[in-house]
Amino acid sequence: EDYHEHCAQCSEVNWGLTDGGRFYCRTCHNVTERTREFVNSAVTLNTRIQTISKGLRKQEKNDEGWEWYVCEGFQFVLTKQAEALEVLGVCPQMKDEILCNFWRRYLQKSQQAYCNRPAGESIKVLSGCESSTDMDSEPERPSLLHLLPLSESDGDPLTDCSFGSSTGKVSESTSVCSGSVDGSLHFRKNQKDKLRMSMPMTLSFCYMALLWLRESMTLSDLLRFVVEGHIPYLNVFQCFPEKMKLYGLDLKIFCVESWPVYEEVHDKMLHLAAFLELPRFPDITDSCFLHPDMLCMKYLMEANLPDELHNWTCRVVKKIHIGEADFLTFVPENKSTRKVKYDVLAAAVIVVVLKLLFLLDDNYEWLLSDFAEERNKNNKEDGPYFEFKKWYKVIKNSLDMEQRKMDEERAKCLWRCEKPLFYSAKKKSKALKRRQIVVNLQHQFGKLSGSRQSAEKPNPSSFQLNWSEENTEGSCFHGHSLKGILQEKCGLLTAMNPDYWLCTVKLCTEKFCGHLAHYRDLDFPASYHFVLRLFSFLLRIQPSYIHEEVCAIEHKLFNKKLYKKPKYSTGQRK
């Protein structure tokens, strides 16, 4: 009654008082910075006490939390993933300088934030579970978007042009109950839209930042750390603030029930970089870890293959020019060039070298192995020759054991979160009681079945299979020699076998196929399939992806022989 100034928003004089002591307009719900002054006559006369609001958050009447947008939820996920990558040894500037700028540019390009709000349009949106009477008690809270650095030219971070463009569309799309303001609107977007934000796309953001920094972590390493639990992905919404309630369509957006797929994450990264109009990425030179020579050395060690094979992988890389910076460097705007999958490329080079030396036709490699075994028995003074048969047995036993462990861990994976989801204070006790019953039943059944409690997750490592040269069982082949399969010719060491079989004579050129070659294990030798299976386990991808890259390398390596035009005499022409 004592405050008669006109509202700056609607020019009305119809003021109410919030719980924090600030005046708000009952007509347009505009909250001012002006606070109420009152006199307390119970203490001392002429002593005036002023109540100052400090921006305390008010609770909803039904304790349903504050308003939040889907992009804020994904930003929280990206923050947690970036922090986990820093713990794993990634450059500290990734989070605040690289990933932050990529995310802010995505919000601006998709007109979700950092854009100018259309004049006269409001972004106020009620979720489907809120009533119109709750507008007077809207909770105040800091936006997660304010965590990002912002320049004056970036506009209002809380402005969502897609929401402000049509109030009717928003109210219609938010008719489905959800915790976020725009959950149903986000979910109703085109399901096939590759730029729609999703949980796999958060990993595309992370990989794009890693690639920009030329970090030593490949995409296969990133996805493996996700599966092992070192990078938040499964049930990451448990880390959301208490007042960011998830229910309804929010669970379909942030809950995942499958592990990320290599091809999907890589494909989304390509489309994302093109959408953001990013410039040419920093050059991948021979001193970078992502260079084929460096990655081949890593995978040769992990596959327990002789060190001498690295000289051959380097020769293949140099021969077909796949070690040059122009070939390896990612250029988003250049759609004509084939985008490099660095880990798959290195594994394919090793497979091609093994085919060059051992043929892998289920015959020649065993003959060479018998010769090396006989030589090692008769001559124990020099270093041992590499025996393919012995290597096969050692790797197969280890691979089968590791594959069994991985399958068991995936079978034990609990896709549902341990933290119960409740959407109001009334449902909290009921949800906690249900969760406690589930935990007790799992504990009792575990005792009956004799299954052990799941051990702590192992420490992160770049190597999944470790082989020590000090092993007395002779299971390490790093120092073994290739002399039994090489011969010197014109000053160079060449393979004794002059033959080579191609995986495919002609690459697939179908526009809608998307693959250069196709793979069925029954159509190829068992040795070749075993080598593909080994590297597909190390990279956690399908063998067909490595096979496709092998075909591409072979056609570059034997390009002159494959596409050599036959010479016809004049009389032979028809």
Extract the tokens encoding 418: 């341990």
- Same domain for 94 and 211, yes or no, is yes
- Same domain for 321 and 264, yes or no, is no
Query: Amino acid identity, residue 414?
Result: L
Task: Report whether 108 contacts 157 (CB < 8 A).
Answer: no
Residue listed under structure tokens 């010479």: 567
Q: Which residues of 436-460 are buried (b: 16+ CB within 10 A; e: fewer)?
A: eeeeeeeeeeeeeeeeeeeeeeeeb
Residue 445 lies in a domain: no
pLDDT of residue 411: 80
Query: Amino acid identity, residue 114?
Result: Y
Which letter does DSSP use for residue 134 in this model? G
DSSP reduced 3-state for 166: coil
pLDDT of residue 179: 76
Residue 437 lies in a domain: no
**Euclidean distance between CA atoms 103 and 71, whole angstroms:** 10
**Euclidean distance between CA atoms 81 and 223, whole angstroms:** 12
- Same domain for 360 and 507, yes or no, is yes
Task: Report whether 264 contacts 202 (CB < 8 A).
Answer: no
- Same domain for 309 and 333, yes or no, is yes
User: Who contacts 238 (Cβ-Cβ below 8 Å, separation ≥6)?
Assistant: 417, 418, 419
Residue 143 lies in a domain: no
- Same domain for 372 and 267, yes or no, is no
- Same domain for 523 and 386, yes or no, is yes
Q: Nearest-CA neighbor of 196 among 246, 145, 162?
A: 162
**Euclidean distance between CA atoms 208 and 188, whole angstroms:** 27
pLDDT of residue 188: 76
Residue 60 lies in a domain: no
Extract the tokens encoding 411: 């079978």
Q: Nearest-CA neighbor of 114 among 70, 162, 55?
A: 162
DSSP reduced 3-state for 165: coil
Domain span at 105 = 68-111+195-278
- Same domain for 25 and 77, yes or no, is no
pLDDT of residue 391: 96
Residue 233 lies in a domain: yes
pLDDT of residue 28: 72
Query: Amino acid identity, residue 228?
Result: E
Query: Parallel, antiparallel, or unpaired for β 48-50 and 492-495?
Result: unpaired
Residue 171 lies in a domain: no
Residue 446 lies in a domain: no
In the chain, how many domains are there? Answer: 3
Residue listed under structure tokens 């007509």: 27
- Same domain for 500 and 542, yes or no, is yes
Task: Report whether 119 contacts 128 (CB < 8 A).
Answer: no
Task: Report whether 82 contacts 147 (CB < 8 A).
Answer: no
Extract the tokens encoding 27: 């007509």
pLDDT of residue 67: 84
pLDDT of residue 43: 43
- Same domain for 31 and 79, yes or no, is no
- Same domain for 349 and 263, yes or no, is no
Task: Report whether 270 contacts 335 (CB < 8 A).
Answer: no
**Euclidean distance between CA atoms 76 and 144, whole angstroms:** 8
> Measured in whole angstroms, how far is the alpha carbon of residue 402 from the centre of its chain?
23
DSSP characters for 262-325?
HHHHHHHHHHHHHHTT--PPPP--TTSTTSHHHHHHHHHHHTT--TTHHHHHHHHHHHTT-SSH
The stretches in the chain having pLDDT less than 70 are 1-2, 19-20, 29, 33, 35-65, 117-178, 190-192, 336, 418-428, 449-458, 469-474, 510-514, 560-574
C-alpha angle 481-484-489 in degrees, rounded to nearest 5:
105
User: Who contacts 80 (Cβ-Cβ below 8 Å, separation ≥6)?
Assistant: 232, 236, 239
**Region of 109 on the Ramachandran plot (φ > 0 left; ψ -120 to 50 alpha; else beta):** alpha
pLDDT of residue 197: 93
- Same domain for 254 and 370, yes or no, is no
User: Who contacts 114 (Cβ-Cβ below 8 Å, separation ≥6)?
Assistant: 104, 107, 108, 150, 154, 155, 156, 157, 159
Task: Report whether 262 contacts 541 (CB < 8 A).
Answer: yes
Task: Report whether 78 contacts 202 (CB < 8 A).
Answer: yes
DSSP reduced 3-state for 566: coil
Residue listed under structure tokens 């500290």: 92
Residue 440 lies in a domain: no
- Same domain for 359 and 262, yes or no, is no
Count Cβ atoms below 10 Å from residue 71 Cβ, excluding itself. 21
Instruction: List helix spans (H) across 320-362.
Output: 325-328, 342-358
Burial class (CB in 10 A: 0-12, 13-18, 19+), 547: buried
Burial class (CB in 10 A: 0-12, 13-18, 19+), 57: exposed
* Residue where a domain stops, chosen among 222, 254, 278: 278
